[in-house]
A and B are shown apart, each in its own frame.
Chain A
Amino acid sequence: MRIKRCKGSRDLLPEEMSRFRHIERTFRDCCLGWGYQEVKTPTLEYLHLFTAAGTLTPGMLGRVYSFLDWDGWSGQRVVLRPDGTIPVARLYIDNMTEQGVAKLCYVTNIFRFEETGKESRESWQGGAELIGVSSPLADVELMTLALDVLKRVGIKDVELRLSHAGLIRDLLQKLGLNPQEQARVFDQILDGDTEALARIESAKPDLGRMMISLLDLKGKSADFLSNLKSTLNHSIPELEAHLDNFARIVALLEATEHNYQIDLTSGRGFEYYTGVIFQIFIGEEKIGGGGRYDALVPLLGGGDIPASGFALYLDHLMRLVTPAAITKPEERNILLRVEPEVIGQGFAAANLLRGAGYVVCTQLTDREPATSRWVLEVRRKAPSFVLIDQTKRKDVALPNVTEVLAALGGGNADQGSVT
């Protein structure tokens, strides 16, 4: 009887794993380079961490993997982490509030139930959180960092879409919607629900029309925002603070010469956020996003501390990375053929070569695939070492491992690169 893998789960095979590691490594290197520190949070957290945060919708919380632990007789449930940001905010409150500003990054798996079982219920994301700073510069740093990662991973034609949760929320509030309704109605509007639109238009005709026209607008410059500001300020002066904030972010972004598009409709699911929201797309596929969430740390009882962050979806990125982007170290692969009597010398030589940056793998059967450029035979009788160059079909007999290393160096071994 063959036992299959769990429904909704996924294996990562060697080729996929090398894509995964390539992205993960690049992400981590970038973040460390920007001064972010890596953290890891536990896979299990209390369910009430996520219910207390109030930022995950009931629909989302209804799909978490929750259960009673072996000591859960009080009914307190634990969950497999369904979100990356909330645990990091918890970690910050638990351990780091004294230091004020924290720049944190992580690569983590998150678990959410998906009904069909066709999508993986475990997904991976790389995230960065900037806690304790509320300036537009912080938001732009995060956007730039995210784009930097994607560029270095080798992904092209990235599109950055900007929206602003504060702006959307104020507009909806002006339309007379309470906080509970806001997100739902906004989704309905975006889904083209004409009934929801009609209701709003009839209640507050001027505002309704303005909201609709705002959502239709898409622009690519700070000038666009200035125009928007002068129109809106005139009729809704309360929006000024958010518009100013948005304009300052866009101005900074412009100075970094990143391409972006202002599109308020990209603020779908804005409940999480309080300020700017940025989404990263390749065509119509969303590969990451983030924004400002100043309410989260206070909601978790951590005091009045602002924060913003982003996450990139590794599962999506893995599909987009071209094989060329992943280094192929075959030039530095050596297959070790060793006679049993001299296994000591063989393994010692292999270790020395590994120390010099080569991948040395022992031949165990006759059926091993010849993916390496080099074969090193270690023999009982002289010559002790024979190095075979499979590309040039050339054998060299060598007396010791130092000579082997020299011969490899003379054999273009430096062409490949191990990162």
Chain B
Amino acid sequence: MPIKVALPKGRLLGDTATLLKEAGWGLTGYHEKTRLYRLKSDAFPELTAKVFHEKDVPVQVAIGNYDLGICGLDWVEELMAKYPSSALVRVKDLKYGAGILYLVGSESGGTTSLEKLKTRPETVRIASEYPNLAEALALNLRLRQFNIYPLWGAAEGYPPDTADLVLIPGETSGQKFGHDLVIIREVLAFRAFLIANKHSWETRDMSGILDSLDAVLPLINEHPLPLRIDKPAAAGYLKSKEISEDAVRLALPDGHQQEPTVQLLNKAGLQIDDYPSTCGNRRPVIHLDGVSVKVIRPQDMPLQVANGNFDLALTGKDWVREHRYQFPSSPLAELLDLGFGRVKIVAVVVNDLPISDTDGLRQLWAKRPEALRIASEYTNIADKYARDNHLGRYRIVPTWGATEAFLPEDADLLIENTQTGRTLAKHNLKIIDTILHSSACLIGNSRVTPSPIKQKRIESIVAALRTAVKEV
């Protein structure tokens, strides 16, 4: 039986590749520009490796898909905070990839110390990519009333107006999160860790692989990795008190939807400075009176609009649907189809599975004793799909990207977005169902009644964008 190792993409890839090279694993294709997901080792024929988003590594090891894994201790602790009996063993500190999780408040929000927080009568809003650690922290701090906003990213852009606190990774020394943000406490120091599945650790001889790492570990420099924390530029910063009651709060997407978004805004006669930002500024300035802009992840927008933290936001219909399936009575309203960013959300299996549709899948799995494993970034869409199609016993495996690599070893079905289907085909996958056609859309909150001035401003933005969309 092969020994399976889950390796990280992204932040830790460079140093992990160096470590494994020194250790003589002879992995072909594990480098920054890799397009390969499955790797073989020249030195250890019994070893197979797969490359995951770092956050997926502890989950994959805990559920027993992989014997060993490498990822930051922060993601291990995030998993263990919610699921303390996960079958994970923290085997070895690999010394690189150091960082600290900070609890960060803001000067203008008045959240600069724990004492101030504890005496606040209002609910404390905590936003983080680490929702489980955030909840555990809030309990340990004995906050009397708190809400957690789970995020896909861009947490540093949230305080003070969109959240009171953020739990956010940073450098091990001298970390500053930009103007107005204040570090309240260090929550967790982390570095890259070798982890093992508990059962594998207790029953399998992996000493050869472990020895190879031990031999070279002292050679690895202890150094912090540059964490990609975007520092809001001072010029683009807007204090919450400067956002008046009548100001429209508009959320624009970061990532690859920025280009078409700018084009649309320009077509609508709206000029915007420093978006996409060259310096990670999350508060670009729009040339329109009474409108403040913040740049966040499109995945996080529906929840933020539902909570009234933004009046308007540009996101994808896929994320609107994902939100609606989780919260059917959400006040989220789709105001305008923006036409760009077209993708399909599809159900995907491997090519050699002798089925062509969902009925076939259901019949095939009815005969199998094991549960159907469904991997998806869209856990609520995936759950609804499985329920509606009576897929019997199934499990949702949440993922944070590169989902196409999960089939066939680590999942049986994907719920995934695709533009052309080419990437799927390249990975020997086929589409058995189309769940939804998505495109970018403008969203608002149907239950918030804005002031008359604000209402006018919102309407004029929607009208300008509607005209621009029609011109396309």
Seen from chain A, the residues whose Cβ lies within 8 Å of a Cβ on chain B are: 1, 48, 51-52, 54, 58, 61-62, 68, 70-77, 115-116
CB contacts (< 8 Å) of A74 on chain B: these are 147, 306-307
Q: A52 vs B123: C-alpha distance in the bound complex, in angstroms?
A: 11
Out of A54, A75, A116, which one reaches B125, CB within 8 Å? A75
Q: A90 vs B136: C-alpha distance in the bound complex, in angstroms?
A: 24
Q: A52-B145, A73-B330, A75-B307 are in contact. List 20 more A-B contacts (CB 8 A).
A: A1-B369, A48-B144, A48-B145, A51-B143, A51-B145, A51-B146, A52-B144, A58-B140, A58-B142, A62-B84, A62-B136, A68-B326, A70-B329, A73-B303, A73-B306, A74-B306, A75-B125, A75-B149, A76-B147, A115-B85
CB contacts (< 8 Å) of B139 on chain A: these are 51, 58, 61-62
Q: Would you call B84 and A115 a contact (CB within 8 A)?
A: yes
Q: Would you call A70 and B146 a contact (CB within 8 A)?
A: no
CB contacts (< 8 Å) of B144 on chain A: these are 48, 51-52, 54
Smallest CB–CB gap between A397 and chain B, Å? 57
B323 within 8 A of partner (CB): yes
Residue interface bits B288-331, CB-to-A below 8 A is 1, else 0: 00000000000000010011000000000000000100111110
A75 and B327 in contact (CB under 8 A), knowing A1-B369, A115-B85? Answer: no
Q: Would you call B146 and A48 a contact (CB within 8 A)?
A: yes
**Segment 353-382 of B: residues with Cβ below 8 Å from A:** 369
Out of A48, A52, A73, A76, which one reaches B323, CB within 8 Å? A73
Q: A52 vs B143: C-alpha distance in the bound complex, in angstroms?
A: 8
CB contacts (< 8 Å) of A51 on chain B: these are 138-139, 142-146
Q: Would you call B146 and A72 a contact (CB within 8 A)?
A: no
Interface residue count for B (Cβ, 8 Å)? Answer: 26
Nearest CB in chain B to that of A66: its residue: B135
Smallest CB–CB gap between B447 and chain A, Å? 11
- Top 4 A-B residue pairs of the complex, sorted by shortest distance between their CB atoms: A75-B147, A48-B145, A73-B306, A58-B139
Seen from chain B, the residues whose Cβ lies within 8 Å of a Cβ on chain A are: 84-85, 123, 125, 136, 138-140, 142-149, 303, 306-307, 323, 326-330, 369
Residue contacts A-B, CB under 8 angstroms, 26 given: A1-B369, A48-B123, A48-B144, A48-B146, A51-B143, A51-B146, A52-B144, A54-B144, A58-B136, A58-B139, A58-B142, A62-B84, A62-B136, A68-B326, A68-B327, A70-B326, A71-B329, A73-B323, A73-B326, A73-B327, A73-B330, A74-B147, A75-B148, A75-B307, A76-B147, A77-B147
CB contacts (< 8 Å) of A61 on chain B: these are 139
Smallest CB–CB gap between A315 and chain B, Å? 22
CB contacts (< 8 Å) of A72 on chain B: these are 327
Most buried by B among A1, A72, A73, A116: A73
CB contacts (< 8 Å) of B140 on chain A: these are 58
CB contacts (< 8 Å) of A76 on chain B: these are 123, 147
Smallest CB–CB gap between A47 and chain B, Å? 9
Smallest CB–CB gap between B53 and chain A, Å? 24
A71 and B327 in contact (CB under 8 A), knowing A1-B369, A58-B139, A115-B84? Answer: yes
Nearest CB in chain A to that of B304: its residue: A73
Smallest CB–CB gap between B347 and chain A, Å? 24
Q: Would you call B142 and A73 a contact (CB within 8 A)?
A: no
CB contacts (< 8 Å) of B145 on chain A: these are 48, 51-52
Q: Would you call A73 and B307 a contact (CB within 8 A)?
A: yes
Nearest CB in chain B to that of A71: its residue: B329
Q: A76 vs B327: C-alpha distance in the bound complex, in angstroms?
A: 12
CB contacts (< 8 Å) of B303 on chain A: these are 73
Smallest CB–CB gap between A417 and chain B, Å? 48
Q: A61 vs B306: C-alpha distance in the bound complex, in angstroms?
A: 27
CB contacts (< 8 Å) of A62 on chain B: these are 84, 136, 139
Q: A74 vs B308: C-alpha distance in the bound complex, in angstroms?
A: 9
CB contacts (< 8 Å) of B138 on chain A: these are 51
Out of B142, B307, B328, which one reaches A70, CB within 8 Å? B328
Q: A1 vs B365: C-alpha distance in the bound complex, in angstroms?
A: 13
Smallest CB–CB gap between A63 and chain B, Å? 9
Nearest CB in chain A to that of B368: its residue: A1
Smallest CB–CB gap between A416 and chain B, Å? 47
Q: A51 vs B148: C-alpha distance in the bound complex, in angstroms?
A: 14
Nearest CB in chain B to that of A49: its residue: B145
Smallest CB–CB gap between B310 and chain A, Å? 13
Q: A51 vs B369: C-alpha distance in the bound complex, in angstroms?
A: 42
